[in-house]
Amino acid sequence: GLQKQVERGELLQPVIFIVLVLCSVLLYFKVSLMDPGFVKSEEDAAKSEEQSVVIPQVSSNIKMRRCGYCMVKQPMRAKHCQLCQHCVRRYDHHCPWIENCVGEKNHPLFIVYLSVQLAVLLWGGHIAWSGLYFKQSWDWLLHNGFLLLSFFLIVVFTIVVLLLLISHLYLISCNTTTWEFMSYHRISYLRHSELENPFDQGVILNLWRFFC
């Protein structure tokens, strides 16, 4: 019965898997609904400008400019998102998966979400694969078509999430954002900088400051 399964530890793995799935769903809603770091007032912009002064490699001639859309003063590394209709501090990108920007406040949680999602996909892929017993017959294909399709979709999503996670971790280790990486020559504080990446302070310190 159920008691014997608990004693043998047979229910532990399914319970852990369900907990991981629930964590993934909760993280999805948290990241998609939370404030990614909207620039809301002149005070917030001034505070962010003060924080950027500690980076001496950035030219002091670069002044904060006023956003032509929402008319707030943009702190360094902020960008206006046309879809969110707000300027976002340390803007990374607008993610269609979560229908929200990834910025200063939710970027670390976005990485946690991707990591949990990857664990769920890998585990789900293992479960789907273990349920397949290949036979060269049309009846077998008809009865296992849904399982094969599920496995194929899991593999595709796993590759996408894995590549996304790897690319984000690489950019974080360099202390740069997706927007800065893709639009380097259009960004004034990078274009006029003496260094290729004025924010890079070494891999360990970059990771520490991002996550801690």
3-state secondary structure of 210: helix
Q: What pLDDT is stored for residue 62 in this prediction?
A: 55
**Domain ranges for the chain:** 2-36+96-211, 37-95
d(C-alpha 129, C-alpha 145), whole Å? 13
Identify the weakest region by mean pLDDT among 11-25, 95-109, 163-177: 11-25
- Cβ atoms of residues 87 and 78 within 8 Å: yes
- Of the two residues 136 and 195, the one the predictor is more confident about is 195
pLDDT-based confidence at 140, cuts 50/70/90?
low
Looking at the annotation, which residues are catalytic? Answer: 95
Is the model's pLDDT at 34 over the cut of 90?
Answer: yes
- pLDDT recorded at residue 154: 94
Judge whether 127 and 158 are in contact, CB under 8 Å: no
Of 101, 114, 207, 112, nearest to 160 (Cα)? 114
Measure the CA–CA gap between 86 and 80, rounded to whole angstroms: 6
Q: Tell whether the model's pLDDT for residue 54 goes beyond 50.
A: no
Contacts of 164 (CB under 8 A, 6+ apart): 114
Coil, helix or strand for 103? coil
Alpha-carbon span 102 to 118, nearest angstrom: 18
Between residues 134 and 120, the one the model is more confident about: 120
Query: What band does 56 get if pLDDT is binned at 50, 70 and 90?
Result: very low
Mean pLDDT of the chain: 84
